[in-house]
Amino acid sequence: MGEEGAGGTVHLLCLAATSGVPLFCRSSRGGVPARQQLPFSVIGSLNGVHMFGQNLEVQLSSARTEDTTVVWKIFHESITLIVLSSEEGTSELRLQRLLQMVFGAMVLIVGLEELTNIRNVERLKKELRASYCLIDSFLGDSELIGDLTQCVDCVVPPDGTLLQEALSGFAEAAGTAFGSLVVSGRVVAATEGWWRLGMPEAVLLPWLVGLLPPQAARDYPLYLPHGSPAVPHRLLTLTLLPGLELCLLCGPRPPLGQLEPQLLERWWEPLLDPLRACLPLAPRALPAGFPLHADVLGLLLLHLELRRCLFTVEPSGDKEPSPEQRRRLLRNFYTLVTGTHFPPAHPVSPEPAPPEEKVEEVAPKALLPRACYLVLGPEEPGAGWRLVALQSGPRRLLLLLSPQSPSHALRGLATRTLHALTPLL
């Protein structure tokens, strides 16, 4: 299993489906945004071969060469997205979900009407520039994983109940049912209305907030790809502490100026210490002192029904591999077990989707695997990183473990870790 992102290049192409006119091209190399652009002849060939197949009633969705994987997808018969990746270990599942998130980001910024009824190509190109920051973050080496798992990145605050009560009260006082606390793109707490947001906006909104330049307050117009792709909403953000933001999703009211300092002081000044305790949770996700086995180098816990996840590579941070390598290993392992062993999560779609099924209904219960593991390198004592995945009801746990962890004990260690984490998510 290769390390995704290690020295490879990713090119993302967006074209008008009917005319083949390029709308933008974004690239990254080694997880870092790059200026490298594909020649127009290559872009035309990639689009042409896809259209040729369509004319013959053949749906070309992906192709693989010796060192590159290509995935095509048309959205609403209007926008064609093409991604090429030479990253080692890249899977089609990862690239397909990348395209879904990219289109969701485009709808979030400009709305579905502008993308399905293109009147002025040059104007649309200019409007789409506002989405580049969000799109580039999907191509890069992010500390978040919601783009791949389709679950919201969360953290577990020490005083979650106090923060939840204050957030619900503040949102009600502000006249909206949609509120959340976000630290570095991860949700600390959210109202019931916020948790009912569909995909992909549930992932995109906190991700976007984590990317925006620091500001004391914002009034940001946007669309909800699933819930309101044609009618814009307003995302109001207020910085409570550097890196910790209060987010409200609302309609024309309330005005940003209505959220007076007195209202903020009333609800949040008594909670300064619990709020400060949230700041270190950005990379760690778990409360300080949470008991984890010394062999755990990284973990990903998914709740597939709630669509939430905890992701961290901070345990035993002084050991090899580096945090970047740990994230790549866990991301690659997730695509492997999701595409091979465990039923995949429901796809992200900006279009209305049927009510979600429970995980147990995706396949007959007797046919669902419960655990699997992988050893990178020789399966000998003290050699090779261990990766183990465990499925239990709606929860799925993936662990990256040190080479010292014996293979025969992996399932027991994963079971105990999942049992300890279950009350948190």
The model's pLDDT over 87-96, given as tens digits with 9 standing for 90+, comes to 887 889 999 9
High-pLDDT (> 90) share of the chain, %: 65
Q: pLDDT, tens digit, for every residue of 358-408?
A: 444 444 555 678 899 998 876 666 678 999 999 999 999 999 999 988 888
Q: Is the pLDDT of residue 152 over 60?
A: yes
Q: What is the pLDDT of residues 170-200, one digit of tens each?
A: 999 888 999 999 999 999 999 999 999 999 9
Query: Is residue 358 a part of any domain in this protein?
Result: no
- CATH number of residue 176's parent domain: 3.30.450.30
| Within-domain flag for 322 | yes
Single residue among 237, 264, 283 that ends a domain in this structure: 283
Query: Looking at the domain assignment, is residue 271 inside a domain?
Result: yes
In the chain, helix, strand, coil percent, each to 5? Answer: 35, 30, 35
- The CATH code of the domain that includes 93 is 3.30.450.70
Residue 371 lies in a domain: yes
* SS3 labels along 157-179: CCCHHHHHHHHHHHHHHHCCCEE
CA atoms within 13 A on the CB side of 392: 15
pTM: 0.90
Residues 64, 71: Cα–Cα separation, whole Å: 9
Q: Return d(Cα 394, Cα 46) in angstroms, integer.
A: 40
Query: Is beta strand 152-153 parallel, antiparallel or unpaired with respect to 308-312?
Result: parallel
Q: Domain end: 283, 307, 339, which one?
A: 283
Q: Which one of 110, 141, 172 terminates a domain?
A: 141
pLDDT of residue 366: 53
pLDDT tens digit sequence for 23-65: 999 999 887 878 778 888 888 888 888 888 877 788 888 999 8
Collect all residues with Cβ–Cβ distance below 8 Å to 419 and sequence separation of at least 6: none
Residues 119 and 202 in one domain: no
Phi, psi of 60 (to 5 degrees): -90, 110
DSSP 233: E
User: What phi, psi does 423 have (nearest 5°)?
Assistant: -65, -20
Range of the domain at 392: 291-349+364-424
The residues pairing with 257 across neighbouring beta strands, listed in sequence order, are none
In a domain, 3, yes or no: no
- What does the pLDDT average to over 103-131? 96
Q: Are residues 408 and 312 in the same domain?
A: yes
In a domain, 359, yes or no: no
